[in-house]
Amino acid sequence: MSLVLRNIIRRCPWTIINKGSLRFWSSNGQFPSHPMGTEEYENQPRKSITELPDELTEHGIKPKFISGYETTKDGWEWVDNILFKSKIPEPPNHPTPSGWIPPNPILARQWPYFVDRDRFHSYALYVRILPVMLEYWLHEQHRYYLNIFRRRVEYDIYAQRTRRFSLLELISGDIWALDHDLKNYLTKRVELTNDKSKELPILSQVDEIKRHILIDGEYEEWVADFLKEKGF
């Protein structure tokens, strides 16, 4: 028997083999090679390896359980603690020791814009490393996406690493006013520090359709302080 056939039969439960619902490749290429993914295969009750007949196990050797087990219903809380839960718990209404601050709705209503929190009750602030579309000739531009090695990312010469951007999402209201206020705040912070990696002027890109602001540089901590001041 060929290696391929042997491997297929090894992985198939015996019920399907006996029923004869296996289909192999034909020369036309019309049938699927393996019933994995079909309903009748996937919904089979899974049996342990010990219950398989000897012909379908490797070299005719079957593992055997050495120790027994006993079932209890105590201690479910320890299991429940570890299980994944899709429901996100509601946070408290006071600041937590980790530095998390709840939003202030009274303060947030003053401004003509509003920055919402994500489903985990955190700021929608992210770091981005963006690619650069090099200037290819027109007849070569399709090659950019085909050639993975030539895909380049913006590089910051002074910092000697890839250029980072900070992204602020989930904005509603007047984006341009937010952009104006953000830039003023960040320029003030930059003037206070003597860090040469932070350059002036602060460049930003406003996307009205996607409702986000992209700032050139890593200003996440300062943007978070700005959002805390505004009560978002």
Partner 1 sequence: MIKSLSLTKIFRYCAIVRSIRYFESSSQSSTFSPESSTNSIPQQLPLIVSRQLEYPHIRYPSLQAWLETLGQKRDEKLGIVDLHPSIWQTSPRLDILYENIEWQKTYKTIDWAYTPPHHEYPNMRAKPWPQKGTGRARHKSRYGPQWKGGYKVNGPKGPTSFFYVLPKEKRIEGLCTALTVKLHQNDVHFVDSFDLPTHQPTYLQELSEDRFWGPSILFVDDTDIMPHNIMFACAKTEGFTLMPVYGLNVYSILKHTTLVLTIRALNKIEKKLLHALHSYDTQKDQPPPPPDEP
What residue ranges bind partner 1 (CB under 8 A)? 84, 86-88, 103, 105, 108-109, 114, 116-117, 119-120, 171-172, 209-211
Q: How far is the CB of 93 from partner 1 (least distance, A)?
A: 12
State which residue, 117 or 228, has the beta carbon closest to partner 1. Answer: 117
Residue whose entry in the numeric block shows the structure tokens 């509601």: 90
Smallest CA-to-CA distance from 111 within 171, 45, 178 is with 178
Q: How far is the CB of 32 from partner 1 (least distance, A)?
A: 14
Smallest CA-to-CA distance from 154 within 211, 226, 203, 209 is with 203
Cα–Cα distance, 228 to 94 (Å, whole number): 13
Q: How far is the CB of 52 from partner 1 (least distance, A)?
A: 27
Q: How far is the CB of 223 from partner 1 (least distance, A)?
A: 19
Q: How far is the CB of 45 from partner 1 (least distance, A)?
A: 17
Answer for the pair 52, 14: CB distance below 8 angstroms, yes or no. Answer: yes
Smallest CA-to-CA distance from 36 within 6, 11, 14 is with 11
Cα–Cα distance, 28 to 156 (Å, whole number): 55
CB within 8 A of 195, min separation 6: which ones? none
State which residue, 8 or 171, has the beta carbon closest to partner 1. Answer: 171
Smallest CA-to-CA distance from 224 within 92, 97, 100 is with 100
State which residue, 109 or 196, has the beta carbon closest to partner 1. Answer: 109
State which residue, 83 or 192, has the beta carbon closest to partner 1. Answer: 83
Counting Cβ atoms within 10 Å, is residue 210 exposed (0-12), middle (13-18) or buried (19+)?
Answer: exposed
- Please report, as a single letter, which amino acid is at residue 22: L
Buried b (16+ CB within 10 A) or exposed e, 133-142: eeeeeeeeee
Q: How far is the CB of 89 from partner 1 (least distance, A)?
A: 11
State which residue, 197 or 205, has the beta carbon closest to partner 1. Answer: 205
Q: How far is the CB of 20 from partner 1 (least distance, A)?
A: 27
Cα–Cα distance, 188 to 209 (Å, whole number): 29
State which residue, 120 or 137, has the beta carbon closest to partner 1. Answer: 120
State which residue, 6 or 119, has the beta carbon closest to partner 1. Answer: 119
